[in-house]
């Protein structure tokens, strides 16, 4: 079965947050993150959760650099969606190579929906000896289905309990590079 085309849904989709709003939210997050890490002797390990976290992580990293906060980069690729619009079991496609023992780790992702992926990733980082694991997400979906104990330390914006895409989030692996967050028409 062929995936629906982004062009077929984009015209009816609702813009939830435009680029200016997202960039302002990222700047606010960068201020808070800088304040929390500025006095550390060692840069935090900045771990981008691929693919969705990449656009947001790049923007956030530049904003942190503008504030004088250095970070050490790594990434991981763990997904529950695999191109679908509903999640299933977690698949690890790449784990970070940087040792985490004694490190402050900042996980950077596009969205906190229910939290299954972030819970598993956070536990894995702790199992690797991370001294602390914090989470920065561009968006949090507003609903009451979150996994217990999973929350983000730094949040850009809230989005409604609808299927959202753009700014890293995909619609059948399409639209990640859209410069806004959209929601499918209801």
- Render each residue's pLDDT in the chain as its tens digit; 186 residues: 588 999 999 999 999 999 999 999 999 999 999 999 999 999 999 999 999 999 999 999 999 999 999 999 999 998 865 555 555 577 888 999 999 999 999 999 999 999 988 999 999 999 999 999 999 999 999 998 888 888 999 999 999 999 999 999 999 999 999 999 999 998
How many Å from the N-terminal Cα to the C-terminal Cα in the chain?
23
Give me the catalytic one of 109, 110, 113, 170. Answer: 113
What are the DSSP calls for 148-180, one per residue? TT---SEEEEEE-SS-EEBTTB-BTTB-TT-SS
pTM for the full predicted model: 0.92
DSSP-assigned states of every residue in 63-80: HHHHTT---EEEEEEEES
Question: Coil, strand or helix: which one is 24?
Answer: helix
Give yes or no: 113 in active site.
Answer: yes
Q: What is the DSSP letter of 48?
A: E
The pLDDT score that the predictor gives to residue 92 is 87
φ, ψ (nearest 5 deg) of residue 92: -90, 115
**How far apart are the C-alpha atoms of 93 and 71, rounded to whole Å?**
23
Specify whether domain 6-83+90-183 bears CATH 3.40.50.2020: yes
Tell me the CA distances in angstroms from 139 to 4, 40, 104, 175, one per residue in order. Answer: 24, 27, 22, 16
């Amino acid at each position: 079965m062929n995936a629906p085309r982004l062009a077929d849904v984009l015209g009816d989709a609702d813009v939830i947050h435009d680029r200016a709003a997202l960039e302002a939210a990222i700047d606010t997050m960068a201020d808070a993150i800088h304040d929390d890490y500025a006095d550390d002797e060692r840069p935090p390990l900045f771990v981008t959760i691929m693919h969705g976290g990449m656009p947001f992580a790049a923007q956030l990293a530049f904003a942190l650099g503008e504030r004088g906060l250095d970070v050490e980069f790594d990434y991981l690729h763990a997904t529950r969606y695999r191109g679908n619009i509903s999640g299933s079991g977690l698949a690890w496609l790449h784990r970070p190579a940087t040792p985490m023992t004694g490190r402050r780790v900042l996980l950077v992702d596009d969205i906190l929906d229910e939290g299954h992926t972030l819970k598993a990733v956070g536990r894995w980082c702790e199992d690797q000896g991370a001294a602390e694991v914090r989470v920065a997400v561009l968006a949090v979906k507003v609903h009451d289905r979150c996994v217990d104990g999973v929350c983000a330390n730094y949040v850009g914006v809230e989005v409604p309990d609808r299927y959202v895409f753009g700014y890293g989030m995909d619609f059948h692996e399409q639209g990640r590079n859209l410069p806004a967050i959209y929601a499918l028409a209801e």
